[in-house]
Amino acid sequence: MTEKPWQGRFSEKTDRAVEAFTASIDIDRRLFPYDIEGSIAHCRMLAHTGIIGEEEADKLVEGLGRILRELERGEFPFDDGLEDIHMHIEARLVQLVGPVAQKLHTARSRNDQVALDTRLYLRAETGRVIASLATLRRELVKLATAHLDTPMPGYTHLQRAQPVLLAHHLMAYYEMFTRDAERCRDSLKRTNVLPLGSAALAGTTYPIDRLYTAGLLSFPQVSANSLDAVADRDFVIEFLATASIGMVHLSRLAEELILWSSAEFRFVELPDAFATGSSIMPQKKNPDVPELVRGKTGRVFGDLMALLTMMKGLPMTYNRDMQEDKRALFDAVDTFKECLDITARMLPRLHFGRERMRLAVEGGFLNATDLADYLVTRGMPFRQAHGCAGRAVGFALAQGRELHQLTLEELRGCSPLIEKEIYSFLTPAAMIDRRNSLGGTATDQVRQAIARAEAALADEAGSRDP
């Protein structure tokens, strides 16, 4: 049985069942690049402040580099008796460089060490999520550009409401995912804080230089309170909340693709490469990819709820419960990125049923509001115009016709203010392009929205370039 770092206090060896129960190596081993990065920075700081010698530091850094290569190549010797990645790396370092390895843990605890590893990991993964969101947003803009001339019904209560451009509908999702990217960038401000140097909870007696360590690890801020630094998982919860909102947006898009690909809508056809068939019904083409995105949303919600529930009752400062944060965090990160990436791959392969959408716009009295608006331009108060248009809809329903199919005399039965020009008000193109208020569905407005989006994406790409 492997000797534990704390064994001096204990008279019994750790029970094998307890070792298995408390072990986290199967989960936290993926933190190894960040654990080594943090250890190298800590080692350099110890040498910088004279706590250890420069030659000792060089030897430790060399050993840590070798361990990193072993882990990257899958050659690292894992030991069931060592419960986490931190102890594995420390034990291996002792094997490689000898007793000097035992100096590396000077002025730090596993409490501030794991807090650092988690922040380094989440900082890197948040950057990858932001990049994936940019890719998805770019695909939405490309699709919108290709469909500036495609009208479709806009819906409220899942009932046809008013005509909009498909491009306008797609750009609505661009706005949603842009907010997700903004939330990710904002959360980085609270993730990008150095906890190392807080030690177990109270700080350390050694003359460390936390600002020096922060500079080595590119942290713009250092935690202000050692108790808070090791107790804090707000930054993880904040990311999980951001990911949950992002999954809501992915799920809403997935739901619409599922509905639109049904025989009842036929607004879109999914590519064969992103669908599956039935084991019994040969005709089936199932929208499995968007269905799984919709389903995986619940997993990310669950990860957020798990962490909120875990943290809500913990006293200061570090408690072993917090070991469970990484399982939820890793699952949410992996799931969110996977769903972003598969959606971005699917979007450019979608085939929209333009003719089906056009026909849907022409039915269902989507021009009723425009009839009321026309009467307002003729001097009628809107509430009165609304009632007049409603009576016209009732008459048309009884006749089995649409408003634009009624004769002028029939329409004038609603109001003598109606003239022949009314028919030019009731076409889908006219209805769309008259909605030219800022942010509206008019072609000019959507074209401007696309131009703004393209400029924003270009700026973001430029800011990421070295």
C-alpha–C-alpha distance, residues 419 and 273, integer Å = 53
φ, ψ dihedrals at 123, nearest 5° = -60, -45
Token pair listed for 59: 């030897």
C-alpha–C-alpha distance, residues 442 and 148, integer Å = 10
**Catalytic hit among 11, 157, 279, 351:** 157
Q: Look-up: residue for tokens 């000097």?
A: 100
The residue among 105, 131, 126 whose CA lies nearest residue 52 is 105
The angle at the Cα of 119, spanning 38 to 242, to the nearest 5 degrees, equals: 165
C-alpha–C-alpha distance, residues 108 and 201, integer Å = 10
Is 86 known to be catalytic?
Answer: no
Q: Is 279 exposed, middle or buried (0-12, 13-18, 19+ CB in 10 A)?
A: exposed
**Catalytic hit among 218, 262, 278, 424:** 278
The backbone region for 318, taken as left when phi is positive above 0, alpha when psi lies in -120 to 50, beta otherwise, is beta
C-alpha–C-alpha distance, residues 193 and 339, integer Å = 28
List the alpha helices (DSSP H) in 272-353. Answer: 288-311, 325-346
Is 157 known to be catalytic?
Answer: yes
DSSP 145-172: HHTTT-EEEEEETTEEEEEEEHHHHHHH
Per-residue DSSP letter, 56: H
Active-site residues, by number, are: 157, 278
